[in-house]
Structure 1
Amino acid sequence: MRKPLLTLTAAAAAVVALAAPAAAAPSGDTIVTFTVATANLDISVPASVNLGAAFAGNSITGELGNVTVTDSRAALNAIWTATVTSSSFTTGTGTPEETILPNLVEYWSGGAIETTGTGTFVPGQPTQADAVTLNVSRVAFSKTSGSGNNSATWAPDIRITIPGGAVGGSYSGVITHSVA
């Protein structure tokens, strides 16, 4: 009778050997994706400024207030150029005697008040001695290298030469900053 018990034990061992679990995989990969959000390249400027008063034949100088470029494009090559132009300044009906042309408007950016991010920020006109007339579009400030989000703030000045033949009145014009 011992033989059936031995056969049964051998058969059970064979079943256990056949039912052993398969070997587990040594590693497994999960592909993970996400997006780094991007936004715009923007510029903000003061809504208005009053330079005060000056007599005909003189000039008037003043600060425009803070101009800020904010680059939220998260770009690999995050460069930009801010430009500036001027309209004519007029009073009354804008006759020649009531108009100060853009070639009599000078601008200088000065240096950066504040910057964020990496790269090289370059003022268009670092000092008053570098002032340019605004009868054509001029570079106000630029970022020439770097990557990722960044910003720059500067406080430009303008000087307006008032012709000797200008009539009295409240003159207004527009200084336009753009960025690309």
Structure 2
Amino acid sequence: MKKPLLALAAGAAVLAVASPAAAAPSGDTIVTFTVSTANLDITVPASVNLGAAFAGSTLSGSLGNVTVTDSRAALSATWTASVTSTAFTTGGGSAEETILPNLVEYWSGPAISTTGTGTFVPGQPTSADAVTLNLPRTAFSKTSGSGNNTATWNPSLRITLPPAAVGGLYSGTVTHSVA
């Protein structure tokens, strides 16, 4: 009787090994990643020559493309670009050799291109909207939207040359900033 018992025990062992294991109905894996962020930057032309005009007249021209690049990947990706100007001087800087910022007018014009979501607003859409640069002015802004974005515009200047201005090459700085 030992043999049938032994055979029965061996058969039970095979059956226990051959039975399928109980499986979990689902399994969760937590996955994480990071959306990288960068800066809010502005790029402007290094220099521009607006040409020549006589004292007592008006000189105007384009500054070249200004671009804001917002790589902050922000939920509320709004920003304002501002612009201001120094005086324009030649020679020794006397009153006759200086053109003050209140004689320098600026208008942004419309956007040349934009990327991303939201509302992009030119500070001065047309030359009729020009503002003097004797204090910081809004050049362009983004008032809504999220994520990365860019805006490019080509602003213009109109400079009134006083009748008493002396001849020479005048130089000044127009500064764009973004925050």
TM-score bucket (shorter structure): over 0.9
Count of residue pairs the alignment pairs up: 178
Matches of 1:15 and 1:51, distance apart in 2 = 96
**CA deviation after TM superposition for structure 1 residue 86, in Å:** 0.3
**TM-score with structure 2 length normalisation?**
0.94
**CA deviation after TM superposition for structure 1 residue 25, in Å:** 2.5
Matches of 1:103 and 1:83, distance apart in 2 = 16
Amino acid across the alignment from 1:47: A
Q: C-alpha offsets along residues 54-92 of structure 1, whole Å, 9 cap, x if unaligned?
A: 111111000001001111111111111000000000000
Counterpart in the other structure of 1:86: 85
Matches within 5 A, 1:50-65: 50-65=49-64
Matches within 5 A, 1:75-114: 75-114=74-113
Matches of 2:27 and 2:136, distance apart in 1 = 59
Counterpart in the other structure of 2:2: 4
The 3-state SS of whatever aligns with 1:7 is helix
Counterpart in the other structure of 1:175: 174
Q: Please, what is the CA RMSD of the aligned residues?
A: 1.4
**CA deviation after TM superposition for structure 1 residue 18, in Å:** 4.5
**CA deviation after TM superposition for structure 1 residue 53, in Å:** 0.9
The 3-state SS of whatever aligns with 2:143 is strand
Counterpart in the other structure of 1:16: 14
**CA deviation after TM superposition for structure 1 residue 17, in Å:** 4.6
Matches of 2:20 and 2:53, distance apart in 1 = 95
Matches of 1:140 and 1:54, distance apart in 2 = 26
Greater CA drift, 14-23 or 152-161? 14-23
The 3-state SS of whatever aligns with 2:22 is coil
Greater CA drift, 22-31 or 109-118? 22-31
Matches of 1:57 and 1:7, distance apart in 2 = 122
The 3-state SS of whatever aligns with 2:34 is coil
Gaps of 5+ in 1: none
Q: C-alpha offsets along residues 117-152 of structure 1, whole Å, 9 cap, x if unaligned?
A: 111000000000000000000000000111111101
Matches of 1:28 and 1:149, distance apart in 2 = 35
The 3-state SS of whatever aligns with 1:97 is helix
Counterpart in the other structure of 2:41: 42
Matches of 2:167 and 2:93, distance apart in 1 = 12
Matches of 1:4 and 1:167, distance apart in 2 = 126
Greater CA drift, 127-136 or 32-41? 32-41
Moved beyond 3 Å, runs of 4+: 16-22
